[in-house]
Amino acid sequence: MTWMLVLLPLLAGPLTWWASGRVAEDRRRVFLASVGGTTLVVTTAVGVAVAVQRPSSVAELGEGWRLVHDVTPLAGIVAVLVPVVALLVVVYAAAHEQARGLGRLIGGLVAFVGAMELIVVAGDLLTLLIGWELVGAVSWGLIAQDWRDPTVPRQAAHAFNATRLGDLGLFVAAGAALAGVGTLDYDGLGTLSGGELHVVVAGVILAATAKSAQGPFAPWLFSAMAGPSSVSALLHSATMVAAGAYLLARLHPVLDRADWFGPTTIGIGLATALAGGAVAALQTHTKKLLAASTSAQYGLMFVAVGGGFPAAATAHLVTHAVFKSLLFLVAGIAIVVTGSATLGRHRLGSHLPIVAGASLVGALALAAVPPLGAAWTKEEVVAAGGHHAPWLAVAVAIAGGLSALYAARFHLLSYGPTQGGLRDLGRPSRSERGAVVALAAASIGLGVLLIPGSAEAVSDLFDAPLPPGEPWELALSLLLVAAGMWTAAVADRRDRLGSLGMTGATSQAADWLGLPTLTRRAVDGALRLAAAAARFDDRIVDAGVRVAAAVGVGLSWLLAGPGAWNLPRKGVRRGVEPSVDRVVHGAAAAVRWLADRASVLIELVVDGVVEGTATGVGVAGRDLRRLQTGQVHHYYVLIVVGLGLLVAVAAIWR
């Protein structure tokens, strides 16, 4: 069943894309909403069954490799959350997005769910890595949906490469796990110790930080805004960006064994929550404001995990997924209706009252205003910080105040009262309105979390403790939320809310506090340094080589004699070649002289021997032939002489 949770959307996505091309254009939107929606309804049902049964399974791949699924209580909750949010996003996208490439977009969104589910149910690092890479690849395709715009593929590549850089951490962690305990199973990671444990923890933190757009990785979220609004809604809420915070919460028992894990995660999360809050408060681009708020909210989840309460982080992940997808969908409607992504040009409250009401619910949830459920989960994060240290609770409450400020700014500028009377603008379809209303209703429904006793129920559901909060923490947090909303309202009355971040230093700060500019300057500095090194190589290193060559030429001329000074003086090559040639020619002449002398000697000796032997043999032959007379008495005489010689030799030898 766990495999079905993953494979159903993964396979249905491409099939939906393929089948949409065979449907008449006037029926294509209905077809995509029906097929995509049905797939996600079935996936949700499977997710519920998986969350209840919490199965574990192992798929053997051979040679010791295997894929492990292990559905924990925390994983079960997220496994249901992902297709539920995606269902409303797909229904919205089928009605809202451009007709060109709509089949590819809906198919990608459905497949995106399958990739995220693989991460959620993973029980080992190999399964996690496969899902991690699939999410990155599919997100690249979704962000680059409008690839005909030449700026879009570049921004999609930036988002993809930034997260890929963090992905290296997971590969390093997997290698350290294999070296340390010989397995990639999460259960096996619990036995890690020493250097391998620290490498695994560092690798996982790096991957999670990049995926959740924390710290220096945050700017990639602005590039991801090149994608359609529906893609942003799903990417920021229940998939992709959520994967980093979820991974930290899922592996918290392993990671927390390193003493430095908690402080490091808190530091990253808190810095991003405060910086992201400041950026969001100054942003003038509708979707980029929400993108900066995404980094800030996931920063709060990092703080909760680092404080030792992954259940609090996951609870905030759930409420954030609902209200953040809602806010991106209403932002998409405002952009299409007005034809502009600039906040100050919207103010559609009187024109679109239903959508404005949904936007108000989402903004209040983002601001963590009771009785919405997001208020309860944010206070759990404050309590988690306070459990670590009182100053951390104060810092988280300040980040919450910033959340209230930018949430109020978003709603007032996007769906505040229309100024100058109603305009002749378009209106969203029934499906678009239905999707945002459903998400708003879900945000309101999560208000049950504020009912007394809910903390115990949530703790039991996650099978993990929640932090006990202090009254002063709650009072301070609510006070700062009120202060943030009051500040936005006052600035709006003075007609200064829309001008924030438009010019000067605030404009630069709105671009991630100038981080992209610093990065570009760092890259430019590196390029200038490389150019200086190249000039040093040309002028200094090469000069040494040229001097050495000149010295060699000079020595060659000296050795070659006075005549060599008549050689051409321009160029090392022209000076060296004649000298070398003379040496070669001289050597060849000497060899030829020796060869000639050797040839004469050899001819004299060898030919003399051969010719002398031949002459001797000829003389002997003629003399022997003279003994062949044919007369018997001559032969008798030769025999007697021969015997006489033998007797004489034998007498002497004896």
Is pLDDT of 325 > 70? yes
Specify which residues 342 forms β-bridges with: 285
Q: Tell me the two tokens of residue 554.
A: 């000079």
Is pLDDT of 224 > 80? yes
Query: What pLDDT does residue 521 have?
Result: 74
8 A C-beta contact, residue 395 and residue 270: yes
11 exposure class (CB count in 10 Å sphere: 0-12, 13-18, 19+): middle
- Closest listed residue to residue 121, CA positions, set 208, 51, 203: 51
Going by the DSSP 8-state scheme, the letter that residue 502 receives in this structure is: S
Q: Which amino acid is at 184?
A: L
Summarised one tens digit per residue, pLDDT across range 475-507 is 999 999 999 999 999 999 988 887 777 777 777
- Phi, psi of 498, rounded to the nearest 5 degrees: -75, -20
State the average pLDDT over residues 251-255. Answer: 95
Cα-atom radius of gyration of the chain, to the nearest Å?
A: 43
Other beta carbons less than 10 A from residue 479's beta carbon: 12
Report whether the peptide linkage leading into residue 73 is cis, meaning its omega lies within 30 degrees of zero: no
Between 506 and 560, the more confident residue is 506
193 exposure class (CB count in 10 Å sphere: 0-12, 13-18, 19+): exposed
Largest alpha-carbon pair distance within the chain? 162
Is pLDDT of 343 > 90? no
Cα gap 570→167, rounded to integer Å: 57
Query: What pLDDT does residue 561 have?
Result: 56
Cα gap 102→595, rounded to integer Å: 88
Provide, for the chain, the percentages of residues in helix, strand and coil under a 3-state DSSP scheme, each rounded to the nearest 5. Answer: 80, 5, 20
8 A C-beta contact, residue 53 and residue 17: no
645 exposure class (CB count in 10 Å sphere: 0-12, 13-18, 19+): exposed
Q: Tell me the two tokens of residue 439.
A: 């998400």
Query: What pLDDT does residue 345 have?
Result: 76
DSSP string, 305-370: HHTT-HHHHHHHHHHHHHHHHHHHHHHHHHHHHHT--BGGG---TTT-HHHHHHHHHHHHHHTT-T
Is pLDDT of 116 > 60? yes
Place of tokens 């500028």: 413
8 A C-beta contact, residue 372 and residue 247: no
State the average pLDDT over residues 531-541. Answer: 77
Is pLDDT of 1 > 90? no
Instruction: Say how many Å lie between the first and final Cα of the chain, rounded.
Output: 116
Place of tokens 């005549």: 563
Phi-psi domain of 608 (left: phi exceeds 0; alpha: psi -120 through 50; beta: other): alpha
Q: Which amino acid is at 387?
A: H
Summarised one tens digit per residue, pLDDT across range 582-602 is 665 676 677 677 767 666 665
CA distance to 526, 530, 539, 540, 543, per residue, from 536 (Å): 15, 10, 5, 5, 10
Torsion sign, CA atoms 290, 296, 300, 302: positive
Summarised one tens digit per residue, pLDDT across range 349-406 is 888 999 999 999 999 999 999 999 999 999 999 999 999 999 999 999 999 999 999 9
- Closest listed residue to residue 75, CA positions, set 11, 139, 134, 118: 118
Q: Tell me the two tokens of residue 314.
A: 């996951």
459 exposure class (CB count in 10 Å sphere: 0-12, 13-18, 19+): middle
DSSP string, 379-407: HHHHHHHHHH-HHHHHHHHHHHHHHHHHH
Is pLDDT of 606 > 60? no
- Closest listed residue to residue 437, CA positions, set 425, 448, 447, 445: 445
Torsion sign, CA atoms 377, 381, 384, 389: negative
pTM here is 0.80
Non-local CB neighbours of 54 within 8 Å, separated by 6+ positions: 71, 72, 73, 76
Element (H, E) at 58: strand 56-62
Local confidence band at 418 (pLDDT 50, 70, 90 cut-offs) = confident
User: How long is the chain?
Assistant: 654
Query: What pLDDT does residue 2 have?
Result: 81
Is pLDDT of 615 > 90? no
- Closest listed residue to residue 394, CA positions, set 273, 244, 523, 256: 273
Query: What pLDDT does residue 56 have?
Result: 85
Between 545 and 302, the more confident residue is 302
Query: What pLDDT does residue 636 have?
Result: 54
51-65, 183-197, 447-461: which range is least confident on average?
A: 51-65
Q: Which amino acid is at 133?
A: E
Is pLDDT of 250 > 90? yes
Is pLDDT of 348 > 50? yes
- Closest listed residue to residue 355, CA positions, set 338, 371, 322, 333: 333
Place of tokens 């979820």: 246
CA distance to 24, 445, 455, per residue, from 12 (Å): 20, 31, 38
Cα gap 356→440, rounded to integer Å: 11
State the average pLDDT over residues 553-581. Answer: 56
Local confidence band at 279 (pLDDT 50, 70, 90 cut-offs) = very high
- Phi, psi of 150, rounded to the nearest 5 degrees: -60, -20
Query: What pLDDT does residue 616 have?
Result: 64
Q: For 529-625, list the strands marked E by DSSP.
A: none
Between 284 and 509, the more confident residue is 284
Specify which residues 67 forms β-bridges with: 59
398-402, 469-473, 569-573, 638-642: which range is least confident on average?
A: 569-573
Query: What pLDDT does residue 570 have?
Result: 47
Query: What pLDDT does residue 572 have?
Result: 47
Cα gap 348→364, rounded to integer Å: 17
8 A C-beta contact, residue 241 and residue 294: yes
What's the gap between Cα 597 and its chain centre?
A: 77
At 56, is the secondary structure helix, strand, or coil?
A: strand
Q: Tell me the two tokens of residue 221.
A: 């979220």
